[in-house]
Amino acid sequence: MSVLMPGRGLADATMIAAIVIFATAGDVFIASAMRGIGDLDDIKAARGLGGAALAVLGSGRFVSGVFFMALSFFSLLFALSHADLSLVAPASASLTFVTNAIAAKIFLKENVDRRRWIAAVFVCAGVALLAR
Amino acid sequence: MLGVVAVTAPLGDTLLSVGMKRVGPVPLDHLSTLIYALRTPQILVGIALLICFFASYLASLSWADLTFVLPATSIGNVIVALLAKFWLHEQISPGRWIGILLITAGVGFVTQGPSYTEMVKECPVSGAEVRPS
């Protein structure tokens, strides 16, 4: 158990923080790319499926987002080889909902009203309970 | 569309997990085992589901906010937990039932509101503010 070993708590927290920060950066970059590209259904109707795929893959922000998602995935793999699955998986999955709400408000200028804050906190707690 | 995102992500993850348990631990010096793992039907279906997930996730983000899509699609965790109970007859502990209730309440909250933040743009001709449709 990580709580019984002094110094392990900080290492676990650092690994979880890395997963969460990379995952949030990935989501924000990808969301920003998709907002910039516009409604994919319209693009597909105008330029076909290949045109829509090209529009997505040609976006620098999309590629950056995928890069950060990959970093998050490898941080998760690294953390899983050093810490308990029952700690890392629920903690990182649930915290991402709250950090995404904060990042979306700051970087994407999304209208995160009280309803969305409550939803983010509820889902965060729910995922933490469900994923144990 | 959001329903596809909600269902394919956890189902794909679960199938990958089932498939990889069948394959067994992959040692670092035998990474070729991963190629063999691709022949496991659960892994193939899991990968196909995750491709569907990513395509629908991108399409959803093209017309909805990140802070709408993420909570709204978390209902998939609830669907998978309930499938595990009624299909695989797994036990759900009281803590998990509370988790299911919290996620369902959160999804209820967020889907009552607007799905997209309209960005106010300057009209290049008159300088007046217009909202894109």
In the predicted structure, residue B52 carries a pLDDT above the cut 80? yes
Q: DSSP secondary structure string, A70-101?
A: HHHHHHHHHHHTTS-HHHHHHHHHHHHHHHHH
What pLDDT, on a 0 to 100 scale, did the predictor assign at position A56?
Answer: 93
Predicted local confidence at residue B77, as pLDDT: 87
Whether B32 is covered by a domain: the verdict is yes
What percent of chain B stands above pLDDT 90?
Answer: 38
Backbone Cα Rg of chain B: 20
Number of independent structural domains in chain A: 1
Within chain B, where are the H helices? 2-23, 33-37, 41-61, 66-73, 75-86, 94-112
Contact check, Cβ <8 Å, A127/B61: no
Contacts of B100 in chain A (CB under 8 A): 126, 130
- Please check the confidence at residue B126 and state whether its pLDDT lies above 60: no
- Look up the domain containing A103 and give its range: 2-130
Task: Say whether pLDDT at B79 is over 70.
Answer: yes
Q: Is the pLDDT of residue B125 over 80?
A: no
Chain B positions in Cβ-Cβ contact with residue A116 (cut-off 8 Å): 67-68, 71, 109-110, 113
Q: What Å distances lie between residue A97 and A118, A119, A122, B74, B80, CA to CA?
A: 11, 9, 10, 10, 19
Give the highest mean pLDDT range of A59-68, B66-75, B124-133.
A59-68
How many Å lie between the alpha carbon of A73 and the closest alpha carbon of chain B? 13
pLDDT band at B30 (very low <50, low <70, confident <90, very high): confident
Q: Domain for residue B98, yes or no?
A: yes
Any CB–CB contact under 8 A between B34 and chain A?
no
The number of distinct structural domains making up chain B is: 1
Do A115 and B112 count as a contact with CB atoms less than 8 A apart? Answer: yes
Q: DSSP string covering chain A, please?
A: -GGGSTTHHHHHHHHHHHHHHHHHHHHHHHHHHHHHH--HHHHHHHHHHHHHHHHHHT-HHHHHHHHHHHHHHHHHHHHHTTS-HHHHHHHHHHHHHHHHHHHHHHHS-----HHHHHHHHHHHHHHHHHT-
Chain B residues 45-64 with a CB less than 8 Å from chain A: 58-59, 61-63
User: pLDDT tens digit string along A25-63?
Assistant: 999 999 999 999 989 889 989 998 899 999 999 999 999
Q: Which of A77, A74, A97, A95 is nearest to A85 (CA)?
A: A77
**Tell me, what's the ipTM?**
0.84
pLDDT at A2: 43
Residues of A in contact with B61 (CB under 8 A): 30-31, 34-35
Residues of chain A that touch chain B, judged by Cβ-Cβ distance less than 8 Å = 27-28, 30-31, 34-35, 37-41, 56, 97, 100-101, 104-105, 108-113, 115-116, 118-123, 125-132
The predicted pLDDT at position A104 comes to 95
What is the arithmetic mean of pLDDT over B31-55?
88
Give domain status of residue B59, yes or no: yes
pLDDT tier at B129, thresholds 50, 70, 90? very low
Amino acid identity, position B37:
A
Cα A130 to Cα A83, A125, B50, B107, B116, distances in angstroms: 19, 9, 21, 15, 28
Mean of pLDDT values over B82-111: 88
Q: What is the pLDDT of residue B65?
A: 93
For residue B34, the model assigns a pLDDT of: 80
Residue-level pLDDT at B120:
61
What residue of A is the nearest CA neighbor of B65? Answer: A110
Collect all residues of chain B within an 8 Å Cβ-Cβ radius of residue A40: 58-59, 62-63
pLDDT in tens, B5-26: 998 988 888 888 788 888 877 7
* Average per-residue pLDDT for chain B: 83
> Which pLDDT score, from 0 to 100, does residue A84 have?
83
In this predicted structure, what is the pLDDT of residue A102?
95
Q: Which residue from B67, B100, B102 is facing A112, i.e. has the nearest CB?
A: B67
Residue A17: predicted pLDDT = 96
B71 lies in which domain range?
A: 2-117
Q: Kindly give the parts of chain A with pLDDT less than 50.
A: 1-4
